Each structure stands twice: as C-alpha cells, then as structure tokens.
Amino acid sequence: MRIGRPRDRAEALGIAALGIAGIAALLQSIGLLAWPAQIMLFRLAGPPVMLVTALLNWHVASRATLPAVRRHWRLMAATAALVTASYISMLAFTVYWGTPRYPTHLPAVTALDVSAIVMAVIAVLAIPAAVPWSASRLRVGLDMATVLLASTVFLWHFCIGPDLQDHTTITQVLAMLALGAGALTAVFAAARVFLAGVAGIDRRAILTLAGAGLAEVATEALRWRVSDPNPRVHPALVCAALFRVCMVAYPVAQLRAQASEADHQRPERPRRPFSILPYTAIAATYALLIASLAKNMVGRTWVVLGGTIVLTGLVVARQIVALRDNAHLVIRLDDSLNRLGRMIAREQTLASASTTLLTQRSQQEIWRFAASTAMELMSDQPGVLAAVIVPASGASGSWRVASATGHRAESLPRSAFEPPRAFGLLIPRLRIGEVIEDFDFPQICGEDAGSGDADGRPPWPGYPASTTTLLPLMAGDQFFGVLIAVSAAALPGEVRESLNTLRIQVALALASAALAQEMTRRATLDPLTGLGNRTLLWDRLSQALASGPAPNGRRTALLLLDLDGFKEINDTFGHATGDEVLRLVSERLGRCCDSPMTTVVRLGGDEFVVLVERTAGVGPVSSLAERIIAAITLPMPVCGRMVSIGVSVGVALSGPDVHLPDDLLRHADTAMYVAKRRPGSGYTVQGSEILDMTESVVSPAVIPSRNGGTADAARERSGR
C-alpha cells in the first residue's frame, strides 16, 4: 500500500476551506435553495473562506526565499483581507436590514472591493517573471494602460451600459468599470507571467489566480443581468462563489508545490521579449467601433474610417515587424553573452585547476580532482558523468574506475573489470594520445556494467553513442589512464576544447607526481643493494617511536649487523667481488625479513640494520637474529668461487627510557660491539633498561649471549 505525502496544518486548513467554498458554489449553481437562503449562504461562507485565504497567503510568504516572491504573497494576503472585510460588511448589512437584496449598494463595500482589485493588480505585477516583459517599466505601463482601456470599453458596451438603471449613480458606474477592468488587467498580467516563466511560484498556481480574475470579470458583467428579483440561480452569485474557490486554491496549490519532493522542471524555451496583446486590443476596439457605427454611417465616412484603420494597421504591422527583428537580435545577443559567460567560467575553472594541480602529489587526489573539474566544465549540459579509469595493477588487460562523479556514477563497477573487445581495440589509439569521440559508454565497463533492472530494462539508459568522449591522460611516453566525459546531449565544441585542456593539465600533474615519487624512492634507497638507506631508516624509526607503545606491550626492535671478514674479501678479491657479496647479503636479508612490519636498510660499508615494529619481545627478535646469522654465514658463490663471511648482530629494544632514534641506535651499536668481541658469528641483545653500557663495563645480568650466557661469560671463554 502506498503511503502518501503527509500534509502540514496550513495545507490541511486550506483544503478544508477549499471544500467549503466548493460546496457553497455547487449549492448556488444547482438552484436547490430559495433566494434568501442563497444570499445568506453566499454572505456566511465568504468571511471564513477569505480569512483562511489571507492566512494561507501570509504563511506562503513566510516560506518564500526570494524577496519579490515574499512581497507578492504578502500583497495577496492584503487582497484577501480586503475581500474578507467586504464580505463582513455585506453580512452586517443583511443582518441589520433583514433583506436579501443583491447587489449591495454600500459605499464601504464598493470602496473595499475597488481597493482589493487594485491590490490584486499590484500583487500580480510584483510576481518575479523569469524573462522580463520588456526593456523598461514604461513599456509595461503603456501595455497595461492599453489593455485596461480596451477592457473598459468592452465592459461598458456589452455589460454595464445596456443594463444601467435610472437610479444608478456615476460612482457606482465607475466602481463597476474599475472592478471589471482591474480584474481583466490582473488576468492579462497573470497570463503574461505564466507564458514568460515564473521564478519561485508554481506555474499551475498562476492558472488558479487567472481563474479568479476571470470569475470577478464575469461577476461584474452579470451583476445586473437578472430581472427576476428572487431568482433560483443568480449567475453573478455563482461566479462570485467560483472566485472564492480560485482565490483559496491559489495558496493551496503553491503549498503543495513547495512540499512536493520531486522537482519537475520544464525545459526553458526561447520567448519573445515583447507582447502583441496591446495591438490585439486596439484591433478589437476598432472592430467594436465599426460594429457600433455601421447602421448610421454614410459612404464618405466609411472611406475615412477605412483609411484610418488601414493606416493604423500598417503602422502596427511595421512596429510588430520591427519588434520581431529586435527580438531576434536580443535573443542572439543574449545567447552570445551566455556563451561568453560560460566560456569565461570554464577558463577560470581551468586556471584554478592548473594552480591546484601544481600542489597535488597523490595520484588518487589528482584523479578525483580531474573528475570533479570535468563535471564543473560540463555543468550546463544535461545528464553528465565524468570518470577516470586506469589500468588495474597486477592484472593484465584489466581496468578499474579510479574516480567518478555525476549521473549514475554509483552504478560504475568498483572492482577491476575486463572491458569488451570494442574498447580493447581502442587502447592502442589511446596510448598514442588520440582523443576518441562518439563512443558507446556502456562498452567501456563491459556488457554487464550497471546490469539492468529486474524488469529487463537495458543498463545505462540515456547515454547515446554520440555523447561519450575518451581523453587519454598521457605525458610523453607515460600513459596514466583515460578521462571519460559523458553527456545526454552532444557536447559543444568549446566544452570539448576545455576538456582537452584539462586532460593535458591532469597528465602533466600525474607525470610530476610520478617523478616526485621516483625521486623520493631513489632518495631513500641504496643504489648498490636496492635496500633502504639511512634516510629511510630514520623516517621509519622516527614514526615507530613517535607512535608510542603498541597494544599488548609490543615494542620496537633494532638489529644492527656488521659483516665479519668483509675487509679481507675486498682486499683479496677486489671491490667487484665485495659489491657482489653485499648484494647477496641483501637478498638473503630480504628473504629472512619478509614481514610487513620489518624494514631492512644498508647504513653504509658492510653495516646493515633491520627495524622490527611491534614485536612481542626478546624471543621473536632472537629467533630473527638466529635466522639472519644462519642465512648470511652460508657459503655464497661469488665470481666463480665460494666465499664465506661472518656477521655480528647487536639488538636493542625500545622502552620507557628509550624513545629517540639516536638512543635506540646507540644501544644497538653497543650490543653489536659486544657481540663482535666474541669469536665467530653471534648476536647480543641489550634491554632498554641498561643505559650506562660501555665497551669496558658490561652488566652480566641483562646482556645474554647467543648461547644463553652473559657477555662477560662469553668474554671469559674467549680469553681462555
């Protein structure tokens, strides 16, 4: 069961008032009630309905964000308040005099009605149109005056003049003309706003406002048309009831539009910046003049009148043609200015992107920035998508989406994918820097990309083959990936040029980031062995110690290795053999220390360091030292001969009193020299709690030897 949108209190109150007004209009149109009951229903239903209308208009004004829209709704609230006061005056007259007379010739009612119609015209003119009516307010005023005068003439000729009674005063005549002509002017203004486009007001609500104006015009036209003093159905009362229905429906329609979750915007279409309605009003007035004078005119008068009409028609036709030509020029100029504005915005975006990319050193950040900037360049296009796809590491022929943003970006595959053959054939062209247009976007991510809906609809709807552009990200011979630009409509040439400029900027930024990464890598690696160097050791060791003690008492360990007998190999067999020995030692260290928490570096000469992060204590570090000694002391083939070499290892662990890299390295160096004084290869572990260790004074309690004894015991055995 579908649950509808919940209504707020204001909307519910408006719907209730709309229901009351509709029921009253229905009862007055079918003639079930006697004339006194009709008058009483008309005057009883009016005040509450119009009071609710005034409150709703004020409530809508409080929700408006644009100042012009807020002003319009406040003026409409004032209009409804004036109409409410008019209905209250009529109700008081009926109750006081006890007569169901209609219309009511009260000066207060007439003044309130005229004030309300003037306020309504001002409110309609305050509606913010999306397209200006004309180049100046003077032209708008002249158009309004023309339509107002023509409306007054027609009302007088057809509605008011034929039905004037002898007791009708000039004030009443002027009031009826003002009400009818003002209502028609409000209808005209509402129609122009509806056709031009509305900013901040629902266009369907504007139709209800125009309906209220037409109902008021019909009320004034039919007010004197009924000769029966007690009719069963009075057309003017029916039209007045419909006026109330339209007035309360106006804010209700706006409230429903504001509360609607889906924002369905109609595409804007070019609109002429002038109106031919004033000329139509002039032509209609001429036709009325001919019809009025036709019975009493002679031939010569017809010639004069006909010539006047023809001359006026020629002048009007000439003016309309000039206005049309000017309108075309204005539209073209407006389009040119819009294109220029968009071009300047794109240039500013590219300039900002160039500055930002200079500071980016992460490939992922550059990919994300490239996708977002491409979206910004295509922001004025419908249904756009920007994505960067790159070759997947470790999988030959596979690709992955590095970054994507825009329409249906969430449906792109997040893991590595195998593109179909159609895209595979384009890869050689992309790798030489060719920009490919008019490609079918779903073919990039495979036939199953986006896997259509359960009802069988095809995946990736709305992307014609002619709207996808593939821009390779290349700098020199380096190929980094592909920038994809997709749009539901064909991309203009200037947008594609901007995307191509962005492609070059992104490719240069990626090349710069890759160069910086390579320089960083070379700065932290030993060129002979490929291991890390002192810079890498210092960086990793500083980070490990700065993070503080690890959970479960885990500590940082440092193993300092010094090769025994390396100088003799260098002196005997030459530096080439010595370099090969260092490379073989590095390979064996790499195989022994393959944990992600272990870093192997060469300090220089024949000294190596193994950094172990978050070790459980002395036991695991001792086992690692034994494996290293066993691996390095094995004979190694070098330059056609077998060479053996020894190694002495000093081990130090971090603790509460050792939190600087220099301290830990000094302790490891001290322990290494203790191990080196013993014959053969071996290791010595020094705890962080011993801070005053020297070559001559060694605490036998805390420096165990490889064989489980102390360093002093080992030295004593060596002396014997």
Main-chain phi, psi angles of 409, to 5 degrees: -65, -30
Return the SS3 of 447. coil
DSSP letter, residue 103 = S
Q: Does residue 442 have a cis bond before it (omega within 30 degrees)? A: no
CA pair distance 653, 544, nearest whole angstrom: 12
pLDDT tens-digit map of 142-169: 666 666 666 666 666 665 555 555 555 5
The closest alpha carbon to 216, from 98, 50, 20, 44, belongs to 50
What's residue 692's pLDDT? 36
Around Cβ 475, how many Cβ atoms within 10 Å? 18
Which run of H or of E encompasses 151? helix 137-154
What's residue 40's pLDDT? 81
What's residue 196's pLDDT? 54
- With a CB cutoff of 8 Å and minimum separation 6, the contacts of 606 are 562, 563, 566, 567, 582
CA pair distance 32, 38, nearest whole angstrom: 9
Residues of the chain with pLDDT under 50: 1-6, 131-135, 261-270, 447-465, 688-720
- With a CB cutoff of 8 Å and minimum separation 6, the contacts of 468 are 437, 438, 439, 440, 441, 444, 484, 485, 486
What's residue 334's pLDDT? 82
Q: How far is CA 638 from CA 35, 578, 641, in A?
A: 124, 9, 5
In the numeric block, which tokens belong to residue 545?
């110690």
What's residue 671's pLDDT? 92
The secondary structure of the chain in percent helix, strand, coil, rounded to multiples of 5, reads: 60, 10, 30
- Cα-Cα-Cα-Cα torsion 328, 334, 338, 340, nearest 10 degrees, comes to 90
Looking at 257-398, which runs of residues are DSSP E strands?
Answer: 385-391
Amino acid at site 544: A
What's residue 262's pLDDT? 37
* Residue whose entry in the numeric block shows the structure tokens 């007379």: 101
